[in-house]
A and B are shown apart, each in its own frame.
Chain A
């Protein structure tokens, strides 16, 4: 089905481990984003990408790495997971032209770092 999908939906990992969250979209949207959602903070932007091989930091990028070798995929890697990175992570995409428009979100990945 067309859309934006994240995997896994749930993940438990240990402090210090590397973990990668996957995001795939089928619309060929140029922009993709990673947000984290924490109680009282809403959605905070971690990284975004305007096109393949172009990525940029958002509001809270420390401890995260992204890549975008293909337009449809935008993986997020926690190089050495910390408890403070326990959160719900959302991937999103949109097709910005001359106007900013709505973002389409995946269903989220709930990550617990123990």
Chain B
């Protein structure tokens, strides 16, 4: 069935280093790929998204790349800071009759060590 695989499940980096989280999706009809950050005790919050007609998008220290051929997209965080420590979820979404369908990855717990 349709799924989104996310790796790694846990990532530990030193403050100032870069962090990369990778996701692979199975449904080629997916056309919207959001990334959510979830801090402890809170709901997920969008940090960046990309649509299928774009290969890369950047917002300050955060960037997302999309390879439609490989059905692969990645989140890149540069110059990591302790406040980047959280759980990150990728998702793949497609429009369908009567609405849309979004499937989430299992999440990556990022630790940034000061």
A residues sitting closer than 8 Å to B (CB atoms) are: 31, 35, 40-45, 48, 50, 56, 90, 92, 96, 99-103, 105-108
Contacts and interface: CB of A to CB of B under 8 A. Distances in A.
Contact of B105 (A42, A99, A106): A42
Interface in B87-104: 89, 93-95, 98-100, 102, 104
B43 A108 contact: yes
Nearest to B44: A105
B95 A107 contact: no
A42 to B, nearest CB: 4
B94 to A, nearest CB: 7
Given A99-B32, A102-B49, A43 B44 contact: yes
B43 A102 contact: no
Contacts of B41: 107-108
B70 to A, nearest CB: 21
Interface residues of B, number: 26
8 contacts: A43-B104, A56-B99, A90-B44, A96-B99, A96-B100, A100-B94, A101-B32, A108-B43
Interface in B52-104: 89, 93-95, 98-100, 102, 104
B18 interface: no
A107 B100 contact: no
B13 interface: no
B29 to A, nearest CB: 11
Contact of A40 (B49, B51, B98, B106): B106
Given A41-B106, A42-B6, A90-B43, A100 B89 contact: no
B45 interface: yes
Contacts of A56: 98-99
Given A99-B51, A102-B49, A107-B42, 18 more contacts: A31-B99, A35-B104, A42-B105, A42-B106, A43-B44, A43-B89, A43-B104, A50-B99, A90-B44, A92-B43, A96-B100, A100-B31, A100-B32, A100-B95, A102-B34, A102-B46, A106-B43, A107-B41
A42 B89 contact: yes
